[in-house]
C-alpha cells in the first residue's frame, strides 16, 4: 500500500544552501520535480524574496545549480526552472530509483520540508536507509498509509490535521478572528510562512475530498427526472 512521509533535512544538506546564506527573507517552494537522468533533477520552483536580483546573483554562484531560467511572475513571486546537479541526491534517488512522488518541498532557510508519496509500504526504511548511508540528518514528522485513517483522515496529513484543528480551536476561522496567523504559528512552533502553506494545502485537500465525495454521490444518485 502506498504511504506518505513528511520529513525535514537541514538546509546545508540539500540544494540551494549557498543561496540561503547570501539572501535574507527568502522562501522557496517546489511546484514539481522532473528527473532528467540519474545525476540531476529539474525542479520548477516558486520564489518569494525582497530582492530577486540578489537571489539570482546567489544562484549563479550556487554549486547545486547548473542552470536556471525565470519563467513567470505572479503576485510578487517568481517562477523558475532549475537544473540541480549537486546536494540533491535524495530527490534523485526517490524519483529515479524508487518511483516516489515528492508532493511538497519547501524551505525558508533552516531546513527543507518534504512530503513524499512512496508506492511501497516500507517507504520510511527506504528514505531512512538512504539518508543514513549518505550522512543526511533526517527528521521524520509523520508517516501514514493512504487508507483514509489516522493522520490522513479527510485527506489531511498529520501536520495539516493538527494545524487545522488548532486553528479551529483558537478561533482562527471565527468572524472576526480570535487569533492571528502569527499567533497561531507561535502556538504551533512553526514559521508564519510554513503555517500559511500548510493551511493552504490542508484546505485544498479538504475541498478536493469534499467535492470528490459529492461528485461520487451525485454519480450514484439517479437523475431527478427519473423520480417524477
Q: Could you list the pLDDT tens digit for every one of the 228 residues in the chain?
A: 667 788 889 988 888 999 999 998 899 998 887 766 666 678 899 999 999 999 999 999 999 999 999 999 988 899 999 988 867 777 777 776 767 778 788 898 889 988 887 776 666 677 778 888 888 888 888 777 665 444 455 667 778 888 888 888 888 887 667 888 888 989 998 887 788 888 888 787 777 766 655 554 444 444 443 333
Give the residue carrying C-alpha cell 470528490. 212
What's the confidence (pLDDT) of residue 39? 64
> What's the sign of the alpha-carbon dihedral 217, 155, 47, 5?
negative
Please give the pLDDT value at position 155: 66
> Looking at residue 3, what is its pLDDT?
74
Query: β-strand 101-107 against 77-84: which pairing, if any?
Result: unpaired
Please state, in angstroms and rounded to a whole number, the distance separating the CA atoms of residues 13 and 209.
35
How far the first Cα of the chain sits from its last, in Å, is 44
User: pLDDT at position 136, please?
Assistant: 87
This prediction's pTM? 0.63
* 84 within 8 A of 36, measured Cβ to Cβ: no
Neighbours of 208 (CB within 10 A): 11
Residue 109: all three cell numbers together: 532557510
How far is residue 102's CA from residue 114's CA, in Å, rounded to a whole number?
7
Q: Which residues contact 177 (CB under 8 A, 6 or more apart)?
A: 171
pLDDT at 76: 87
| pLDDT (0 to 100) of residue 151 | 45
State how beta strands 40-48 and 3-10 pair. unpaired
- pLDDT at position 61 is 96
pLDDT of residue 21: 94
Amino acid at each position: 500500500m502506498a504511504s506518505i512521509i513528511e520529513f525535514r533535512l537541514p538546509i546545508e544538506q540539500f540544494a540551494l544552501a549557498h543561496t540561503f546564506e547570501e539572501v535574507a527573507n527568502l522562501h522557496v517552494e517546489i511546484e514539481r520535480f522532473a528527473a532528467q537522468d540519474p545525476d540531476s533533477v529539474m525542479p520548477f520552483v516558486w520564489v518569494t524574496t525582497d530582492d530577486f536580483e540578489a537571489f539570482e546573483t546567489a544562484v549563479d554562484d550556487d554549486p547545486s545549480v547548473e542552470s536556471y531560467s525565470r519563467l513567470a511572475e505572479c503576485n510578487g513571486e517568481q517562477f523558475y526552472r532549475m537544473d540541480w546537479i549537486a546536494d540533491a541526491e535524495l530527490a534523485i534517488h526517490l524519483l529515479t530509483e524508487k518511483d516516489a512522488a515528492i508532493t511538497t518541498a519547501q524551505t525558508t532557510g533552516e531546513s527543507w520540508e518534504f512530503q513524499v508519496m512512496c508506492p511501497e509500504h516500507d517507504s520510511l526504511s527506504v528514505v531512512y536507509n538512504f539518508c543514513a548511508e549518505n550522512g543526511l540528518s533526517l527528521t521524520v514528522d509523520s508517516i501514514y498509509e493512504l487508507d483514509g485513517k489516522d493522520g490522513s483522515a479527510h485527506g489531511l496529513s498529520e501536520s495539516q490535521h493538527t494545524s487545522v484543528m488548532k486553528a479551529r480551536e483558537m478561533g482562527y476561522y471565527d468572524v472576526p478572528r480570535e487569533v492571528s496567523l502569527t499567533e497561531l504559528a507561535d502556538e504551533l512552533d512553526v514559521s508564519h510562512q510554513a503555517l500559511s502553506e500548510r493551511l493552504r494545502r490542508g484546505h485544498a485537500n479538504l475541498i478536493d475530498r469534499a467535492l470528490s465525495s459529492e461528485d461520487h454521490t451525485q454519480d450514484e444518485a439517479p437523475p431527478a427526472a427519473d423520480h417524477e
